[in-house]
Amino acid sequence: MTGTASVADMDQLGADVARPTLRGLGARWRQRRTAAAQLRHLTTYAGRPLVALTTTVHLLAGAAPVVFMIGTGAALQHLDDGGAMPWLALAIGAFLGQQLLAPVQLVLSKAVARRVDAACLTRFTAFALQRAELATLERPEVADRLAQADEAFEQWTLTPGAAVEGGLALVARYTQLVGAVVVLGVVAGPWVALAGAVVALVARAGQTEAFFRWGQLIRGFQPLRRRATYVRELATSTRAAKEIRTLGLVDWLDERYAAENRAVLDPLWRWRRRVYGVPFLTYAAVALAGSVAGLVAMARSAEAGQVGAAAVAVQGLVLCARFGVMFPESDVKLVYGRSAWEALLEFEAQAQHDAGPQAAPTEGRITPAQAITAREVRFGYRPDRPVLDGLDLDLPVGTSTALVGVNGAGKTTLVKLLTGLYRPDGGTVAVDGVDLRDLDAHAWQRAFAITFQDYLRYEMPLRENVAMGAIEHRDDDDGIAAEVRRVGLGDLLDGLPLGLDTPLTRALPGGRDLSGGQWQRLALARSLFAVRHGASVLVLDEPTAQLDARGEAEFYDQFLDLTRGVTSLVISHRFSSVRRADRIVVLDGGRVTESGSHDELVDLGGTYARMFEVQARRFGGTDGSSTGAGDDEMRTVQA
């Protein structure tokens, strides 16, 4: 939840944004060119024919008010000579045409936006789920960019596609402006046209500059906005509802949400006044002076006495003056939509930088033939705090290995390194002697069937919850049902009203929720379903943590059958779980300190033997069959 920026940082950002300089003007020009290039690139996602058609419709819609202006002026000029009707018909036609074009503009603009957003969303999810490393996604500055892009696509209003939509909509606005200036030059003279153009461009420049700087502020405040969003989602979702109610946290959360929002809104409002205050008065004054000058010049022109010319000129000046207002179809979409695109680009750049050179894609999955090995592996989430420090480990193919150690010893971290989710800071992880860096990470990860300690509970039907292990085989009803029964959930399956199609959430009609133990069994079934369909490495991280003693004993009675012929790694604190493995490895201080069978390690009289003795003594047995001793006892015997 915590961002990397403080309120003081945001104040400094506001000061920098609200203080334009000559150097800043040059940078702003370069940014405008970059923004135009980005919009041109985004239009390629919509396709040239659709963009050309949309642009043509905008041109026609922009020309319609100019034609209406000319028609009404000419009709007024010819009231006395009977020639007003054709001009009046032209004005009415232009008006009706503009009304008919409006829904066409909307439909085409939305089509453009949806095509662009579909391409951007595909690109976004591909990077987030495939290209970006897990370590990249966990960095605070990357999380800010992800939150910004995700927020845009979640609302479907201020997306990159909306930015393209807004940019194309400016075609109609500037067509009106060019038409109005040309008409002013014809009916009122060049000085009136010049005054109108200056009014429009100065007012527009002031408006767009303020919008740009406001967009910079909004982006800079993303860390604080993410904090407020987290508190809001925590208070409104069901995942924390039980604790919030039973611990009486409602008032505290309300106060916390108010405080987080004030931390965002107070400086934003203060800097909004700086951005829109004096600059707005300045360009408004220039626009007013230009409008007055235009009216004076028009009054002195030779055509001033003609009613029709005067009417056209006044309408043209009003249209120029109105260029200083916000364009709802463009401005907000351009600022926020392009900001979402830039957030996506920054995220991709960081992901590519962290990932480095990519190995050539490999079809299917990579199946180890001999062993998975780790040599002198070093890794830490922070440089000064290594979790693994010089670790050596061999996982021979077809054998079961158990990994034990206290919390924080690096057991789950090791799994993430073995699967390629993280890259080691030093040393190598290899498959049959080939460094993981030289292998296609996705093909390698498809070899795994993993039940993490923090497994997910998908609010989907039972079928999908199990088939997630090999989603391309989700139609294998017999296989899904077999694995559900294999982990002891046969009675549950028989009692579900919709069978495999029963949603596992009470929030959907006909759905039901499961107990913690049932969810854990279902997560195990997910991994076994993956093994059924070709996964060759099974990893179980605390696989029986939420099972009762009987359920745990039943599972491990079947453990050797479940893992026969499969390379398996089991992480557990319970020695009734690990003693059945072919080999047990003790992880301590970031290294493997002991390795062997259960009997060998007990005879060795080292760390494993002392931990085993604590559990056996605490639960009244010498064989470790009743387990559950915590990490405190383990740390005691290790000390």
Summarize pLDDT for 281-295 with one digit per residue, the tens. Answer: 777 787 778 778 777
Q: Residue 375: pLDDT above 80?
A: yes
Number of compact structural domains in the chain: 3
Identify whether residues 164 and 137 lie together within a single domain: yes
Nearest residue to 201 (alpha-carbon basis) of 318, 319, 323, 285: 323
> What is the reported pLDDT for 195?
84
**Pairwise CA distance, residues 441 & 130, whole Å:** 9
- Could you list the residue range(s) of the whole structural domain that residue 467 is in? 455-520
Lowest mean pLDDT among 17-21, 99-103, 252-256: 17-21
- Whether residue 531 lies inside any domain: the answer is no
> What is the reported pLDDT for 14?
52
CATH number of domain containing 586:
3.40.50.300
- Whether residue 32 lies inside any domain: the answer is yes
Identify whether residues 294 and 189 lie together within a single domain: yes
3-state helix, strand, coil in the chain (%, to 5): 65, 10, 25
Instruction: Pull the structure tokens for residue 300.
Output: 């002195």
Q: Mean pLDDT for the chain?
A: 81
**Pairwise CA distance, residues 238 & 235, whole Å:** 8
- Whether residue 2 lies inside any domain: the answer is no
Identify whether residues 631 and 506 lie together within a single domain: no
Identify whether residues 258 and 398 lie together within a single domain: no
Identify whether residues 57 and 199 lie together within a single domain: yes
Q: Residue 637: pLDDT above 60?
A: no
Q: Residue 620: pLDDT above 50?
A: yes
- Whether residue 552 lies inside any domain: the answer is yes
Identify whether residues 497 and 541 lie together within a single domain: no
Instruction: Select from 294, 321, 354 the last residue of a domain.
Output: 354
Instruction: Select from 520, 546, 574 the last residue of a domain.
Output: 520
- Whether residue 350 lies inside any domain: the answer is yes
Q: Percent of the chain, pLDDT > 90?
A: 23
**Pairwise CA distance, residues 348 & 202, whole Å:** 37
- Whether residue 579 lies inside any domain: the answer is yes
Lowest mean pLDDT among 62-66, 124-128, 356-360, 429-433: 356-360
Identify whether residues 303 and 399 lie together within a single domain: no
> What is the reported pLDDT for 391?
92
Q: Percent of the chain, pLDDT > 70?
A: 88
CATH number of domain containing 286:
1.20.1560.10
Identify whether residues 542 and 514 lie together within a single domain: no
Identify whether residues 315 and 219 lie together within a single domain: yes
Instruction: Pull the structure tokens for residue 72.
Output: 């009404």
- Whether residue 359 lies inside any domain: the answer is no
- Segment 357-379 shows an average pLDDT of 85
Q: What is the pLDDT of residues 387-402, one digit of tens each?
A: 999 999 999 998 889 8
Q: What is the dihedral of CA 402, 408, 414, 419, to 10 degrees?
A: 100
Identify whether residues 465 and 440 lie together within a single domain: no
Q: Return the axis-axis angle of helices 190-220 and 22-46, rounded to nearest 10°.
A: 90
Identify whether residues 428 and 481 lie together within a single domain: no
Beta-ladder partners of 395: 372
| Distances in whole angstroms, Cα of residue 581 to Cα of each of 218, 558, 606 | 55, 12, 18
CB 499 within 8 A of CB 493: yes
- Whether residue 530 lies inside any domain: the answer is no
Identify whether residues 89 and 157 lie together within a single domain: yes
> What is the reported pLDDT for 292?
81
Instruction: Select from 291, 320, 354 the last residue of a domain.
Output: 354
- Segment 221-241 shows an average pLDDT of 79
